Amino acid sequence: MTRWYPKNGRVIFHVDMNSFYASVEAAYNPDLKGKPLAIAGNPEERRGIIVTSSYEARAKGVKTTMPLWQAKKLCPELIVMRPNFERYRKASSEIFKMMAEITPYVQPVSIDEGYLDITDCHEQGSPLEIAEQLQAKILNELDLPCSIGIAPNKFLAKMASDMKKPMGITVLRKRDLPQKLWPLAIGEMYGVGEKTAEKLNKLDIYTIGDLVGSDLFQLKRVLGINGERLQNRAKGIDSSPVDPDAIYDFKSIGNSETLREDTTDDNVIKPLFRKLSRKVSVRLKRKKVVGQTLQVMIRYDDRKTITRSITQSNFLEEEDEIFSLAYDLFEKHWSGDPIRLLGVTVQSLVEKKEISEQLDLFSYQKETKNEKLIDVMNKLTSKYGKNIFQKSEVQEDRSQPRTSFQKDFLDDYRK
């Protein structure tokens, strides 16, 4: 099998689940198979937008982020279900466990996609055989379809997995780029969003092949260092490793929510800040991290969005502290216009085990007030054993919707 593996290069898989949320629902309820299905929020609220849809619904023109009313107009027979993120999270964990059986070099990047480095997996078969076996196992055991891209680096593997859906396996080698990759529209390139595509179009770059042959100086003038990075990727150059620990590199934890109606009512705004602060606090404790910077996001009824942040010496973790700072920040910067969305994020995260508390005058005073209580607790602990006063492990509010953009649960498959 060694002939299928390069002597000096890598073999990378990108596994991308097909219409993941809808596929999970169809796996739980086979009556949904073959029918136009959409996962969306509350139809009575503005949040009722399409999160994902089955391929039968997509054939009718239903797309992700489309308002529900518009989707139903295109597809009157559309079946709409609310998201069940706990169900999706469980399925995701099982999928990544299957990947980890092949190689320890697994890097989840979202709830429904991840990379594998199988360069040293010669004894398990050829790359194509391993991909076929993995795809079949996910389908047979979980009843979930996926597409797999096989390439010498992560970027090309990602592009390859998009080329055949659903249930595709695509090999994309560097020698294949002129025929398979370069003719694609620049907007189809991973890492090129709508605004970047517009800037590139102004440079007469309309295809990925155009990007390969474009002037690097011009690219860097318009896009900065990202221009050079994109051109290298278009040429098939990407040295980034498949890093199993990348999931721990998150720099912030935040939550946002769209209001049912645009509002200026403090009786709606203040409880929402409390709710968001609670969610952020729970997630910080679950990951055992703290942060010193708090950011508030405000989106107005005209979609104008502002973010404001504050950094302080104390580390943030508790709901009350997060709420107090967030609401104060909001009051200072709110224009008074109707609000559509609010967000709260704690940034500059560090692991709790890596820091020791630096007592300032305020925290020192708090500690001295607790001295008598601590003394009593220590005596009782010595008498009855350790941890009798320890708070029970933080339980996450799993009744609340979770999204694939929250990445702090992607190590669940290791547990």
CATH of the domain at 73: 3.40.1170.60
Helices 266-287 and 319-333, axial angle in degrees (round to 10): 140
End-to-end CA distance of the chain: 32
User: Going by C-beta distance under 8 Å and a sequence separation of 6 or more, which residues neighbour residue 128?
Assistant: 4, 150, 169, 171
pLDDT of amino acid 337: 94
Residues 191-229 as b or e (16 or more Cβ within 10 Å = b) = ebeeebbeebeebebebbbbbbebeeeebeeebeeebeb
Sheet of 79-81: strand order equals: 50-53, 37-40, 79-81
190 found inside a domain: yes
pLDDT of amino acid 355: 59
Q: Are residues 91 and 165 in the same domain?
A: yes
Read off the pTM: 0.71
Q: How far apart are CA 394 and CA 344, in angstroms?
A: 20
pLDDT of amino acid 373: 55
CATH code for the domain in which residue 261 is found = 3.30.1490.100
Q: Are residues 95 and 13 in the same domain?
A: yes
pLDDT of amino acid 286: 85
397 found inside a domain: no
- Among 88, 83, 90, which Cα is nearest to 68's? 83
Q: How far apart are CA 295 and CA 309, in angstroms?
A: 4
Q: Are residues 78 and 154 in the same domain?
A: no
Let me know: does 253 contact 396? Beta carbons within 8 Å: no
Number of domains in the chain: 5
Domain boundary residue, one of 177, 196, 226? 177
Q: How far apart are CA 293 and CA 315, in angstroms?
A: 8
Both tokens of 109, joined, read 């990047």
Q: How far apart are CA 267 and CA 264, in angstroms?
A: 9
> 164-170: long-range contacts (C-beta < 8 A, 24 or more apart)?
165/16, 165/18, 166/18, 166/19, 166/55, 167/18, 167/135, 167/139, 169/128, 169/131, 169/132, 169/135
pLDDT of amino acid 359: 37
| Backbone Cα Rg of the chain | 25
Q: Are residues 70 and 167 in the same domain?
A: no
240 found inside a domain: no
400 found inside a domain: no
CATH code for the domain in which residue 12 is found = 3.30.70.270
pLDDT of amino acid 348: 83
pLDDT of amino acid 215: 95
pLDDT of amino acid 278: 95
Let me know: does 293 contact 315? Beta carbons within 8 Å: no
CATH code for the domain in which residue 199 is found = 1.10.150.20
Annotated binding site for Mg(2+): 16, 112
243 found inside a domain: no
Q: Are residues 50 and 162 in the same domain?
A: no
244 found inside a domain: no
pLDDT of amino acid 404: 36
376 found inside a domain: yes
Q: Tell me whether residue 101 is one of the annotated catalytic residues.
A: no
- 44-85 pLDDT per residue, tens: 554 578 889 999 999 999 998 888 889 999 999 999 998 898
Neighbours of 411 (CB within 10 A): 16
Q: Are residues 107 and 144 in the same domain?
A: yes
Domain boundary residue, one of 129, 145, 177? 177
Q: Are residues 92 and 154 in the same domain?
A: yes
pLDDT of amino acid 413: 79
Query: Active-site residue among 45, 113, 188, 354?
Result: 113
pLDDT of amino acid 408: 61
Both tokens of 23, joined, read 């596929």
Q: Are residues 110 and 33 in the same domain?
A: no
Let me know: does 413 contact 100? Beta carbons within 8 Å: yes
410 found inside a domain: no
Q: Are residues 98 and 143 in the same domain?
A: yes
Let me know: does 72 contact 28? Beta carbons within 8 Å: no
Domain boundary residue, one of 357, 382, 402? 357
Using CA of residue 48, residue 50, residue 53, residue 57, what is the dihedral sign?
A: positive
Q: Write down the residue that tokens 């602990």 correspond to.
A: 381
Q: Are residues 13 and 117 in the same domain?
A: yes
Q: Are residues 189 and 116 in the same domain?
A: no
Kindly give the parts of the chain with pLDDT less than 70: 1-2, 42-47, 249-250, 354-409
- Judged on CB neighbours under 10 Å (0-12, 13-18, 19+), 338 is middle
Range of the domain at 334: 250-357
Q: Write down the residue that tokens 């169900």 correspond to.
A: 87
Q: Are residues 352 and 254 in the same domain?
A: yes
